[in-house]
C-alpha cells in the first residue's frame, strides 16, 4: 500500500480543523445582554412597558405574570464553508511553488435574527427574566 505524502496529510488535517472550528460560536454578546437586562430587576411594570412597549404575549404565573417581547432584527446570511489549498516550499535541492484555489459556498439557509425576552412581573415589579434566540445580544 503506498504511503501518503506529508502535504496530503497536512491538507486533510487542515480541512478537518477548519470544518470543526467553523462550527464553534463565540458568546455573541449574550453576557452583555444579560447585564443589560439586570437593570430591570425591581423596575415597575409601567416603566418596563413604557420602554419595551406592548408585549407580544402575557400569561399568568401564580401571583404574577410573564410579559413576552419578541424582537426581529433582520436576516442573517447563510453559513459558509471555505476551502483552499496551496503550497510553497524549499528542500532537498528543489524549490516548489504552488498556486491556490479558494472556494466559499453557503452550507445552509439564511435565518431570521429573533430574540424572545420574557419578564416576570410580581407585585407590580420585575422579579426575573429570561431570553432565547440568536438575536439576543447581537449588535444592530
What pLDDT score does 72 carry? 82
Within a domain: 42: yes
pLDDT tens for the chain, 140 residues: list them: 555 555 544 445 454 444 444 444 445 578 888 999 999 999 999 999 999 999 999 999 988 999 999 988 765 555 566 655 555 555 566 666 555 556 666 666 666 778 999 999 999 999 999 999 888 876 54
Query: Containing domain of residue 107, as a range?
Result: 30-83+103-140
Task: Tell whether 92 is covered by a domain.
Answer: no
What is the value of pTM for the model shown? Answer: 0.56
Residue 24 pLDDT: 42
Measured CA to CA, the distance from residue 130 to residue 100 in angstroms comes to: 47
Q: Is residue 96 part of a domain?
A: no
Residue 58 counted as domain residue: yes
Q: Give the pLDDT of residue 11.
A: 46
**Please, are residues 111 and 136 in contact by the beta-carbon 8 Å criterion?**
no
Specify if 24 maps to a domain: no
Residue 104: count of CB within 10 angstroms of its CB: 10
Q: Considering the domain boundaries, does residue 68 fall inside one?
A: yes
Structurally, the chain folds into a number of domains equal to 1
Amino acid at each position: 500500500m503506498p504511503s501518503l505524502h506529508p502535504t496530503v496529510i497536512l491538507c486533510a488535517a487542515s480541512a478537518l480543523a477548519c470544518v470543526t472550528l467553523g462550527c464553534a460560536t463565540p458568546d455573541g454578546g449574550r453576557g452583555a445582554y444579560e447585564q443589560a437586562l439586570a437593570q430591570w430587576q425591581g423596575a415597575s411594570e409601567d416603566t418596563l412597558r413604557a420602554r419595551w412597549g406592548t408585549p407580544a404575549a402575557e400569561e399568568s404565573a401564580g401571583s404574577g405574570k410573564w410579559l413576552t417581547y419578541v424582537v426581529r432584527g433582520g436576516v442573517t446570511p447563510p453559513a459558509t464553508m471555505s476551502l483552499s489549498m496551496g503550497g510553497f516550499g524549499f528542500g532537498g535541492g528543489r524549490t516548489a511553488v504552488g498556486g491556490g484555489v479558494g472556494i466559499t459556498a453557503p452550507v445552509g439557509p439564511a435565518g431570521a435574527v429573533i430574540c424572545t425576552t420574557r419578564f416576570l412581573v410580581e407585585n407590580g415589579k420585575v422579579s426575573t427574566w429570561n431570553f432565547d434566540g440568536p438575536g439576543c445580544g447581537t449588535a444592530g
